[in-house]
Amino acid sequence: MHMSYGKTRVAGVPNTRNQRAKLAADYQELLKELSTKNIRSVGNYALEDTLGEGTYGKVKLATHKLTGQKVAIKIIPKLHAENLTREIHHHRYLHHPNIISLLEVIPTETEIYMVLEYCEGGELYDFLVERGRLRENLARKMFGQLCRAVKYCHDRRVVHRDLKLENILLDAYNNIKLGDFGFTRECESKKLLETICGSTGYSAPEMLLAKKYSGLEVDIWSLGVILYTLLCGALPFDDDDENEMKHKIIKGEYEMEEFLSNEAKDLIRSILQLEPSERPTLKQILQHAWKKNTTMMMMMIGLQMK
């Protein structure tokens, strides 16, 4: 019997000039990827376009390599890890249809990657800029979803303290998704807070006056600012001069637009109360006549009676 004693090919070792050239090119590409600051993947996720940048890091679109699921990955340098501890702790336990899901946290030697639910509708801020202002029916739906998300947090004694349009995202069906829990704090029933945080235009007067405050009530105030902005297309206390803006907030000086329904005006006034204890609870807001669309119901009843 004739037996061949030719060379046996070892798996993984190229045996042609073209294969060796390709392998060398692959090595160079990998070396380039490992040495660059622009990391292309982390864990099971392939990083793609940058969605936004903030004070502490950036947010990138990414795709899960096995499932194809799109996610948003918040990338924060590890030197800011202390600021992330509370945010991650609270966010990973908040499970609500109108709160962005924190899917995974991937720590590396230099950075922390927060894998978040991807909201393809983008920021509510951009949504509003495109439309100018919202019709009351659409605002009613969105504001109701936001209130339920905040109520879910408050029921667990957690306050957000940075409610604003830029921290509210939309899914593909324009459903509200509350995010960015960087200023979140535990809120004990009788313990007051004193850290000044958030954006000036949405800040409650007691916070701007550096008074100790209830986290629940400053969130309520911010919701009132958001409601006004959705319906009117501008912040109630907006001003190019930040000191003048603070003055308006502290004095409660804003103009109520005439085109708003009486119920909308009443709800806004009830929320933007200078005295924190006079502001309604989230339960009361969700039961308000504007939220329940009483006017439209009465009109329908009137038409049926004719």
List the chain domain ranges.
40-117, 122-297
Binding-site residue set for ATP: 74
Q: Decide if pLDDT at 83 tops 90.
A: no
**What residues are designated binding site?**
74
Domain 122-297 has CATH 1.10.510.10: yes
Three-class SS of residue 305?
helix
Percent of the chain with pLDDT strictly greater than 90? 68
Lowest-confidence region among 12-16, 67-71, 92-96, 294-298: 294-298
- 17-to-21, 24, 30, 41, 262 alpha-carbon distances in Å: 6, 11, 20, 30, 80
- List, in sequence order, every beta strand (DSSP E) within the chain: 41-42, 45-53, 58-64, 70-77, 102-107, 111-117, 122-123, 158-159, 168-170, 176-178, 185-186
Q: Which of 200, 247, 195 is nearest to 221 (CA)?
A: 200
- Which pair of tokens denotes residue 114? 């927060």
How does DSSP classify residue 257?
Answer: P
How confident is the model at residue 14, as a pLDDT? 54
Nearest Cα residue to 39 out of 104, 118, 110: 110
Would you state the pLDDT for residue 16?
76
The confidence score (pLDDT) of residue 298 equals 42
Using 50, 70 and 90 to split pLDDT, how confident is the model at 297?
A: very low
Mean pLDDT of 272-286: 97
What rounded mean pLDDT belongs to the chain?
88
pLDDT of residue 12: 53
Q: Which residues are catalytic?
A: 162
- Residue 271, pLDDT above cutoff 90: yes
The answer to which of 147-156, 177-186, 247-256 has the lowest mean pLDDT is 177-186
Q: Could you tell me the pLDDT band of residue 282, with boundaries at 50, 70 and 90? A: very high
Fold of 40-117: Phosphorylase Kinase; domain 1 (3.30.200)
Beta bridge partners of 122: 170
